[in-house]
A = this chain, B = another copy of it.
Amino acid sequence: MNASRTARERVRAELTREIADTARRHLATEGAAGLSLRAVAREMGMVSSAVYRYFPSRDDLLTALIIDGYNAIGAAAEEADSACRRDDYPARWLAACRALRAWALAHPHEYALVYGSPVPGYRAPEQTIGPASRVAAVLGRIISDAQAAGVLDPPGLGVAMPREFAADVGRLRESVLPGAPDDAVARALAAWAGTFGMVSFELFGQFENVVTDRDAYYDYAVTCMGRVIGLRAGA
């Protein structure tokens, strides 16, 4: 009984995955708003109503793709980081940021689905918050490692961190930035948002007629951000 049920569930899981894969291919070519449940069903030789057995609605399909996207970009960052010498913190930072952007450029529609404007009426469910933090975890760990090694050396800016931010800093330190000082947490958060802001600007067309050599400029900008947090080359 258990075996047969798992057999049924196995084929169900397989079909679910196949639908998601087909949808992801459509997403890659047509974009999120062009993703049609009917087209996915058509390509799989099913009728549209059959797909509803696996995904209750189009939004649920999109949610699955969003989770996949978070995991993919997170995995890319993790891999890039782990390929670096552990004690070369600026190199790890640059590599992770580069991987981020490279993934975004290779999967523009998936990136837009994940980090762009949410589709109207769509509300990110709880399941997305776990995978969503993978990238932040990679970036945070680099800072934390540098801090633990005693080489974090942030330039003084003379800007006081707001008191209201103390609780958030505490939570962030526990989850993704263990051991980091308050300033580093606050600046890392801005760098996190800033890095994605740069990628989004490039991908969404704001750099058109503004930045031509985007590889070079991106490297420069994220290096600056890392430097502001305290990552220093050759330390």
Interface residues of A (CB under 8 A from B): 30-34, 109, 112-113, 115-121, 124, 129, 132, 155-162, 164-165, 167-168, 171-172, 186-187, 189-190, 193-198, 200-201, 204-206, 208-213, 216-217, 219-221, 223-225, 227-228, 232-233
Contacts and interface: CB of A to CB of B under 8 A. Distances in A.
Q: Could you say how many copies of this chain the assembly holds?
A: 2
A121 B34 contact: yes
A204 B157 contact: no
A32 B117 CA distance: 10
A118 B210 CA distance: 18
Contact of A195 (B186, B187, B197, B221): B197
15 contacts: A31-B119, A33-B120, A115-B206, A129-B208, A157-B224, A160-B220, A162-B216, A164-B216, A164-B217, A168-B211, A168-B213, A186-B221, A193-B198, A193-B201, A197-B197
By CB atoms of chain B within 10 A, which of A30, A167, A193 has the most? Answer: A193
Given A117-B112, A165-B216, A194 B204 contact: no
A121 B109 CA distance: 11
- Return the 7 tightest CB-CB contacts between A and B, nearest first: A197-B197, A31-B120, A116-B117, A194-B194, A112-B117, A162-B216, A164-B213
Contacts of A195: 197
A5 to B, nearest CB: 36
Contacts of A213: 162, 164-165, 168
A209 B160 CA distance: 23
A200 to B, nearest CB: 6
B210 A189 contact: yes
A57 to B, nearest CB: 15
